[in-house]
Amino acid sequence: MEKKKRYYPNFPGVPGWIYGGNLNFERVLFLLHRITGLALIFYLFAHIIVVGFRAYSPEMWEMVMGRISGHSNPVILFFEWLLVLAVIFHMFNGMRLIFLELGFFIGKPSRPVYPYRTSIDRQRIFTWIMMILASIFVIWSIFAFFMGGGNHA
Amino acid sequence: MFFLLGSHIFFMHMAGGEPLSVEETFARAKNIAFPLMYTIFVAAALYHGLYGLRGILFERFHTPFSQKVINWLLSFAGIIWFLYALATTWIPFFK
């Protein structure tokens, strides 16, 4: 009996995130969106547990925050900042994807006249705008986390 | 999600003040707007995150059985985490 085929050629799996298609700007954003999304969902589980300690007592909350807050440990502060970077990127890239899926910024359909112009070319400007907006918030986060601008002084 | 998460990050990390202090944390917990907002936020975040995780897992596991298992496991995890978050959000409000 022939063994059931378990390989699906059109599903490159996790390695295909990198090698599937051209590694252009949008593909890099796709890869980063997935990595930050995975990081955020696993962090969310931990975050819910940690924040849940406030339900026990104010003393418990103070003790937990004293141990794991970025105020008390620069390494934790750095990882908190990385998390905020992931959030900022995921938010702005997600907003970009929503706009594109709704049909904004991809131009009107046109006849394929050489030299061809794909929707990727048309949406590239919007992509850069969203990434520049994200970068502004990243710069703000550096100021807020490490230069006394936010609540991490 | 964009606005809920954006405002959460802004107020907790970037706006200044001491939002994680005992006084401010429990003052927020007593204001009904915050538990309500966080209930909606955590439900949306869990659904969004777990649905995304499901999509990624489906790319790796193709059989109907494994996809059914993934659906059940993620739904179960989401409900448990949501109930825990719900309890810990509203207990300080009623205490």
CB-CB neighbors (< 8 A) of B17 in chain A: 151
Angle separating helix axes A74-101 and A119-146, nearest 10 degrees = 160
In a domain, A133, yes or no: yes
Residue A152's nearest CA partner among A53, A76, A49, A39 is: A76
Question: Does a cis peptide bond (omega within 30 degrees of 0) precede residue A9?
Answer: no
Q: Provide the domain count of chain A.
A: 1
Whether residue B5 lies within 8 A of chain A, CB to CB, comes out as yes
Q: Could you tell me the pLDDT band of residue B32, with boundaries at 50, 70 and 90?
A: very high
B80: tokens are 């448990």
Q: ipTM of this predicted complex?
A: 0.88
Task: Give the CATH number for residue A126.
Answer: 1.20.1300.10
In a domain, A153, yes or no: no
In a domain, A103, yes or no: yes
Contacts of B40 (CB under 8 A, 6+ apart): B4
Q: Which domain holds residue A47?
A: 15-146
Q: What is the pLDDT of residues B36-65, one digit of tens each?
A: 999 999 999 999 999 999 999 988 888 899
Q: What is the pLDDT of residues A18-44, one digit of tens each?
A: 887 778 889 999 999 999 999 999 999
CB-CB neighbors (< 8 A) of A37 in chain B: 49, 52-53
- Report the alpha-carbon distance of residue B32 to residue B89 in Å, rounded: 10
Residue A22's nearest CA partner among A118, A96, A145 is: A118
Residue A141's nearest CA partner among B5, B3, B2, B15 is: B15
Cα of B91 to nearest chain A Cα, Å: 6
Q: In a structure prediction context, what are the per-residue pLDDT tens digits for chain A, which is 153 residues long?
A: 566 656 566 677 777 888 877 788 899 999 999 999 999 999 999 999 998 988 888 888 888 888 877 666 788 889 989 999 999 999 999 999 999 999 898 888 888 888 887 777 888 999 999 999 999 999 998 988 888 766 665
Selecting from A40, A61, A88 the residue whose C-beta is nearest the C-beta of B49 gives A40
pTM of the entire predicted model: 0.86
